[in-house]
Amino acid sequence: MTSHFAKNLLQHSQQQRYRLFIRIIQGLEKLNFNHAEQDPSSVLAKQFLLTFSVSLLSSGHGPTHDKSPLKQMTALETSSLCSPYKCAPSKCAPAMLAFWLVSLASLVLLPNSNATEPTPRTNILFIAVDDLNDWVGVLGGHPQAVTPNMDALAQRGLLFTNAHCTAPGCNASRTSLLMGLRPSTTGIYQNAHDWRNTSLIDTAVHLPKHFKNSGYKTLGSGKLFHAHTFFDPKYLSGFSDPKAWDDYFPSLTQQMPAEAVPENWPVNSSKDFYGGHFDWSPLQIKTSEMADAKVVAWAKQHLSKTHEKPLFLSVGIYRPHVPWYAPQKYFDRFPLDSIQLPKHLEHDIEDLPEAARKLTKNQWHQWIVANQQWKRAVQGYLASLSFADDMVGEILTALDEGPLADNTTVILWGDHGYHLGEKQHWEKFALWENTTHVPLMVVSPMQTKPNTRCDTPVSLLDLYPSLIELCDLPTPPQTLEGRSFVNLLKNPTAEQDRVAITTQGQNNHAVRSQQHRYIQYADGTEELYDHSNDPHEWTNVANEKRYAQVKQRLASLIPTVNQAPLLPPKKSDTN
């Protein structure tokens, strides 16, 4: 300890030693010595400490330092404070020892000159890609996906290969992620459930606001809280919170710009599906005219300059959310006659319980097949995904070329998965792997190593506590229900017993472990899939006796709190 102290001391400049001296003097004053009441031993100890601090000021410096005003001042103070007292050295030894320890502790604890500059808090670039399933190249969900930018991002850090949403719908998933609370805890299960009309407005602090309250500059662009277009300006604001942001694009009260649409729509689909907004077609426009391109252009401006505070920048990319309208060049990347349908089993739904079959958009599927639109729809998704990937590439290039490159943590996530005909289902709002599995990648200069993967299940619910740990933020007032995954960033195999839980409506849950998916519906019916031999979840083994213990263990992890929905449930959720 003594040698460490000496080494530490020698590293301090004269100015730092002076600051140290002042700290010791201030510490003595706080001890509130009163000359008339102190016993002589305590006063001698104080004298010893003062003498020590004076020697500290002069140590390591040449004779010129002895003549400095500083030295003269300390000598004067020492004399005036302590000269009237005398005592026997034997009596004051314990007190001297105590003060020695105090002074040594203060010196050792004082950081050395290299560490006095606090490490700047990492900036956060938070990229949300809407309705992004696991077709991203590095996750291998579709052999024709073209996502070089997201693939490159994953290779710069850590890719979670087994990440899942807490709810398979935009609003329920995003609200859960941003509040750090399960849908079953808040009762927010559907897109119509606006968190701002609930008690959460008083009892919880959502993620961007927590960053703002904790000293970050918060900037946002595009969809973060739920919003959609439906080609009507009234939906573009969504459920945002203008008070959470220092600035937002298009504005503090509007999350999304209006999007480019064909003159006559639907082009390939039917008015029966969301009034025609579930549609796919190339657009004869420049990429820069796309709404997402405007969102990204704004974000790029802020990545090209320094900021007075650490930055939390959220960028929400709307594609590949429907409508799958994108410039012609993105469709040209996927010639129609080359399109491969997603892997599917013809009679897959026959071993599903009735509650599961009710979730499927079977009628949509029948229409799509009957009208020869399945390949065209897959083409539309692949084109929209490729466009979204180009947008991610633009953001990352701006980051890399700007002043924030070295101290920014990048997190890219999708809000839920997406079916394109598997199990005769389209979209989300179900509890299978296609719907719950999401891309999640983290590149953190201080935490992750390039080209690492983590196969342990994690949840988007884990993002809030992970960001708290990464950025050293205080805890918010609500009790966060996720579990930080920061330990997995450095050591991807550190934990293997985690599970991810997804909830679709009240009392319907899926529990995903490393090997299995267990689903339990409100009526008690079940599904179980074994991913070790059934990666597409084609064979429901819930009724096989050999899986009884697996089922029992996973069922025991289902949330016990299951709040009633905020509003009466609709027959089916809407986009």
Closer of 348 and 462 to Ca ion (Cβ):
348
487/133 Cα distance (integer angstroms): 25
Q: Are 355 and 525 in contact (CB under 8 A)?
A: yes
3-state secondary structure of 405: helix
Name the DSSP class of 496.
-
Among positions 134, 241, 259, 348, the unique one binding Ca ion when judged by CB under 5 A: 348
Q: Does 259 bind Ca ion (CB under 5 A)?
A: no
In angstroms, what is the minimal distance from the CB of 415 to Ca ion? 4
Please give the size of the binding site for Ca ion, defined by CB under 5 A. 7
- The region of 85-93, 167-175, 436-444, 454-462 touching Ca ion under the rule CB under 5 A is 167-175
Q: Maximum Cα–Cα distance for the chain, whole Å?
A: 105
Q: Indicate if 87 belongs to the active site.
A: no
What number of other Cβ atoms are within 10 A of residue 249's Cβ?
24
Rounded to 10 deg, the angle between the 69-82 and 40-58 helix axes is 170
For Ca ion, which stretch binds (CB under 5 A), given 325-333, 350-358, 508-516, 553-561? 350-358
165 is catalytic: no
Cβ at position 373, least distance to Ca ion in Å: 21
* Residue 130 found at the interface with Ca ion (CB under 5 A): yes
Which of these segments, 198-206, 343-351, 462-470, 552-560, binds Ca ion (CB under 5 A)?
Answer: 343-351
Rank residues 169 and 492 by Cβ distance to Ca ion and give the closer one.
Answer: 169
User: Does 573 contact Ca ion by CB under 5 A?
Assistant: no
Residue among 217 and 223 whose Cβ is closer to Ca ion = 223
Candidates 170, 311, 395, 460: give the one binding Ca ion (CB under 5 A).
170
Strand partners, 420: 426
> Can residue 351 be called a binding residue for Ca ion (CB under 5 A)?
yes
Q: What tokens were used for 155?
A: 């290779």
Check residue 131 for interaction with Ca ion (CB under 5 A): yes
| Sign of the four-CA dihedral 227, 429, 178, 133 | negative
Least distance (Å) between residue 425 CB and Ca ion: 12
- What would the DSSP string read from start to end of 146-198? --HHHHHHHHHSEEEEEEE-SSSSHHHHHHHHHHT--HHHHT--STT--GGGS
For Ca ion, the closer CB: 299 or 352: 352
Tell me how far apart the alpha carbons of residues 34 and 43 are, in angstroms, rounded to a whole number.
9
User: Looking at beta carbons only, is 194 or 351 nearer to Ca ion?
Assistant: 351
DSSP string of 257-306?
A: PPPP--SSS-SSS-TTTGGGTS-EEEESS-GGGSHHHHHHHHHHHHHTS-
Is 86 or 347 the residue whose CB approaches Ca ion more closely?
Answer: 347
Using CB under 5 A as the binding rule, whether residue 246 contacts Ca ion is answered as no
Question: How many residues does this entry show for the chain?
Answer: 575
Q: How far is the CB of 228 from Ca ion (least distance, A)?
A: 9
CB of 517 to Ca ion, least distance (A): 12
Q: Indicate the residue among 351 and 469 with the shorter CB distance to Ca ion.
A: 351
Q: Which of 82, 170, 454, 471 is catalytic?
A: 170
Binding to Ca ion, residues 505-544 (CB under 5 A): 538
Q: Which residue is closest to Ca ion by CB?
A: 170
Q: Token pair of 467, please? A: 């960001």
- The CA-atom distances, in angstroms, between 365 and each of 357, 419, 420, 422, 530 are 13, 11, 9, 9, 26
Residues that bind Ca ion (CB under 5 A): 130-131, 170, 348, 351, 415, 538
User: Would you name the residues annotated as active-site residues?
Assistant: 170, 226
